[in-house]
Amino acid sequence: MRYAFSKRVRHLQSSAVRDILKVVGNGDVISFAGGLPADDLFPVEAIEQAFSRAFASGTKALQYIETEGYAPLRELVVERMSRKDITGFTANDVLLTTGSQQAIDLFSRVMFSPGDIVLTEDPTYLAALQVFQSYEAEAVAVESDDEGMIEEDLEAKLRNLRPKCIYVVPTFSNPAGKVWSLERRRMLVRLAHKYNCLILEDDPYGDIQFNQNETYTPIAALDDGSRVLYTSTFSKTAVPALRTGWIVGPFQVIRMMAQAKQANDLHSNSLSQQAIYQLCTHFDFDGHIQGVTNLYRQRRDVMVDCIRQSNLPNAHFVEPKGGMFLWIELDERVNTTSMLTEAVKKGVAYVPGAPFYAGVPKTNTMRLNFTHATDEEIKKGIHLLSDVFSHTDDQVKTVI
Amino acid sequence: MRYAFSKRVRHLQSSAVRDILKVVGNGDVISFAGGLPADDLFPVEAIEQAFSRAFASGTKALQYIETEGYAPLRELVVERMSRKDITGFTANDVLLTTGSQQAIDLFSRVMFSPGDIVLTEDPTYLAALQVFQSYEAEAVAVESDDEGMIEEDLEAKLRNLRPKCIYVVPTFSNPAGKVWSLERRRMLVRLAHKYNCLILEDDPYGDIQFNQNETYTPIAALDDGSRVLYTSTFSKTAVPALRTGWIVGPFQVIRMMAQAKQANDLHSNSLSQQAIYQLCTHFDFDGHIQGVTNLYRQRRDVMVDCIRQSNLPNAHFVEPKGGMFLWIELDERVNTTSMLTEAVKKGVAYVPGAPFYAGVPKTNTMRLNFTHATDEEIKKGIHLLSDVFSHTDDQVKTVI
């Protein structure tokens, strides 16, 4: 039987990331595909203790709560935000969500009418593009270099397209592993004010910073509190399964998002919110983040070394200064999408770069996650990848 | 500053339920307002043990999982559904959600384009109406009596309006506390097939059944598996804080909803899904539900007795055979919305009936929850309510 789905989802197809995760979960494939944190560092015992503490408050820990989320955790988020110079907000300006994914979704739900424009980097976070598309907003790519969006192109698009919002992942981006310079961040805020546009700053990776001597000021810290919505999550620093993220920003927008969230799911898992609060207050959470960061830095180093020594054809990449991803551009003739099946057959998985583009995709790109595989797996996996792509000339001939 | 919100949320206002919950949470008011289960029966210890069992599987309990949710719990749901004669489905036809609220939301997201029609009972679940509205679908009320929708009106509306879906809460409904007869359930399925329309059966209360000698066959059990989506939750039988619900139905629709869910939040809290699975397999969950049902039956009896002995003007109600709500119609001149502030001032809260209507609201109605307050509170609360409304003649004069 045929079901008459809504206009907004007729384009929906199972995403590449998702299909790959499904394949890869089943076999012996070394996966650089998923955005998975390293399981071996999950603070299982500390989290279990945090749950015990939450349970100690008895039955009220298990009742319905307000849509905005567990108030003490919202207060703690305000405090953690102020350490990043994001100030002037109270717990009322914070909405707890089911991962930062839900924050992007609810923001889009309250902001975008069909046909509205959202400006993005190119490439940008795939699942954000899917959200924008599901609300029938049009994502338009702004030209960027290694420092962020390019002012001329951004201003032209702000002037001509009158977008509702600019969506950016400015610190250790997914997928490109890039960091915006301070100048570009300032420029972004200035232009957003000039053209009366909101900024959605997506920062799930900001705490995973490899060089502690550098400072990457969040864009929200450069604003007067009226134009930037900042979202992040405990999924990468604590664990994903608790699905606890947050968004902070202008109260009017947060309030509208809370009302939309009430229709979406009434509220997120509040026992986990209480456990995360207990984790942050009774466990050296910042020390834990440092440990995670140290391991990820080491794994990045291993991956970078392996790639440099590999036969990957004309591999170009910027060494990530944090986060979880390394973005590679290969020889122009390579098509990473069509080669994926071959790679998985040989025992290694990645995410092809094409779906991350709002504009014209570069089909010779791929995203590699360096946080989930062990050093040995990284060495073996890059070797396999190199093997898959080193015969580019032959492959190109075959395709022709 | 003014924010340009999307068309779909411009109508959104904080709901009556929500505002009342906020007020009532702060004071000494006896609340019949929220849909809160009785905290004192929460199986805190069993849930804590269930979490311990989930933690015992180590770090993998805390990693990302597939969007559809923890597979063993989906299998368990299939088994529990088959006990209700909902058969022919596998774990692939089940999507785990953040409460059944998210199931209603995702179903609406993949089904309704702006202007699409959804038929509902009148009154019906307030937060479902909010979801339909947020996707710009139009809810149209079908005439009902104590046995369910009336065939003539339903068929006329199916023929003339060509709705996408009929939304029903057929067993111990929220807000009306009503049960559909088997004949009406069969009639609904027959007409849905005849007019190629889907049915969304919302059944959060079906397990809380006061008279064990009666049988209320779910509508999904009367279908061939192609037309009915059935959603329920562990929020009322276990606890709300774990936000674990499910929806089961035709695979094509479930798959599309899973894709929409991927954009919405990637997946729901998976640690809680594992804990619920452990709870159901290592704890006498059905015995627990029986205990909850016994208490709720007793509280219903107390409330029914109190109302019968009260001075509530021309109170008309049907004694609920299960669930959590009692619906009262008062003297036609009473306006429960305008009287709410007065009632809360006197120390008792309820939900005014008007927002539950898709059609013309009856402003002399109210929803009373009988599961959260103790016997003593119920007695005192109904006495206070009676006090608020017993001077209807005076009030009407004042208003005139």
Average pLDDT for residues B74-87, to the nearest whole number? 98
- Set of chain B residues whose Cβ sits within 8 Å of the Cβ of A1: 226, 250, 252
Cβ contact B270–A241 (<8 Å): yes
Burial B337-373 (b: 16+ CB within 10 A, else e): bebbeebbeebbbbbbbbbbbbeebbbbbbbbbbbbb
Interchain contact, B59 vs A65, CB within 8 Å: no
Return d(Cα A116, Cα B45) in angstroms, integer.
50
Least confident interval from A97-101, A181-185, B18-22, B393-397: B393-397
Given a cut of 70, whether residue B398 has pLDDT beyond it is no
Which residues in chain B have their CB less than 8 angstroms from residue A263's CB?
A: 101, 105, 127, 130-131, 134
- pLDDT confidence of residue A102: 98
Q: A-chain residues within 8 Å CB-CB of B100?
A: none
CA distance A76 to A244: 13
pLDDT band at B21 (very low <50, low <70, confident <90, very high): low
Q: Which neighbouring-strand residues pair with A98?
A: A244
Q: In chain A, which residues have pLDDT < 50?
A: 397-400
Class for domain A7-42+287-393, per CATH?
alpha beta
Residue A366 host element (H or E): strand A365-369
In the block, residue with structure tokens 């390394």: A326
User: Other C-beta atoms within 10 Å of B152: how many?
Assistant: 9
The predicted structure's pLDDT at residue A11: 74
Q: Which residues of A294-322 are buried (b: 16+ CB within 10 A; e: fewer)?
A: ebbbebbebbbebbeebebbebebeebbb
Q: What is the pLDDT of residues B110-167, one digit of tens each?
A: 999 999 999 999 999 999 999 999 999 999 999 999 999 999 999 999 999 999 999 9
Query: What chain B residue is nearest to A43 in terms of C-alpha separation?
Result: B59
Residue A160's Cβ-count burial label (10 Å; 0-12, 13-18, 19+) is exposed
**Arithmetic mean of pLDDT, B277-301:** 97
CA atoms within 13 A on the CB side of B325: 30
Binary contact (A99, B266; C-beta < 8 A): yes
Nearest-CB residue to B12 (from A98, A256, A271): A256
Task: Please tell me whether residue B258 adopts helix, strand or coil conformation.
Answer: helix
Distances (CA, A) of A247 to A129, A228, B9, B353: 18, 10, 19, 34
**Chain A environment of B1 (Cβ under 8 Å):** 226, 250, 252
Q: Quote the CA–CA distance of B24 and B32 in Å, as a whole number.
A: 10
The reported pLDDT for the residue numbered B392 is 63
Would you tell me which CATH number, out of the four given (3.40.50.300, 3.20.20.80, 3.90.1150.10, 3.40.50.880), belongs to the domain B7-36+287-399?
A: 3.90.1150.10
Q: What is the pLDDT of residue B400?
A: 41
CB contact under 8 A, A63 and B239: yes
Closest CA to B304 of B289, B292, B321: B321
The residue type at B341: T
- Out of A47, A58, A113, the one facing B7 most closely (by C-beta) is A113
* More confident position, B3 or A21: B3
Q: What is the pLDDT of residue A264?
A: 96
Which of A193-202, B219-228, B329-338 has the weakest average pLDDT? B329-338
Residue ranges per domain, chain B?
A: 7-36+287-399, 44-282
Q: What is the CATH number of domain A44-282?
A: 3.40.640.10
> How far is B137 from B26, CA to CA, in rounded Å?
35
On whether the CB atoms of residues B235 and B208 are closer than 8 A, the answer is no
How, if at all, do strands B165-168 and B198-202 pair? parallel
Residue with tokens 């999924």: A235
- Mean pLDDT across the stretch B267-276? 97
pTM summary value: 0.95
* Contact between B60 and A47 using a beta-carbon 8 Å cutoff: no
Output the average pLDDT for chain B.
Answer: 93
A64 and B241 within 8 Å at the Cβ level: the answer is yes
CA distances B371 to B213, B309, B347, B375, Å, are 22, 20, 18, 10
Q: Are A375 and A361 in contact (CB under 8 A)?
A: no
Model confidence band, residue B397 (pLDDT cutoffs 50, 70, 90): very low
Residue B39, CA distances (Å) to A59, A119, A142, B233, B350 in order: 6, 47, 52, 17, 19
As given in the structure block, the two tokens for residue A331 are 């020889």
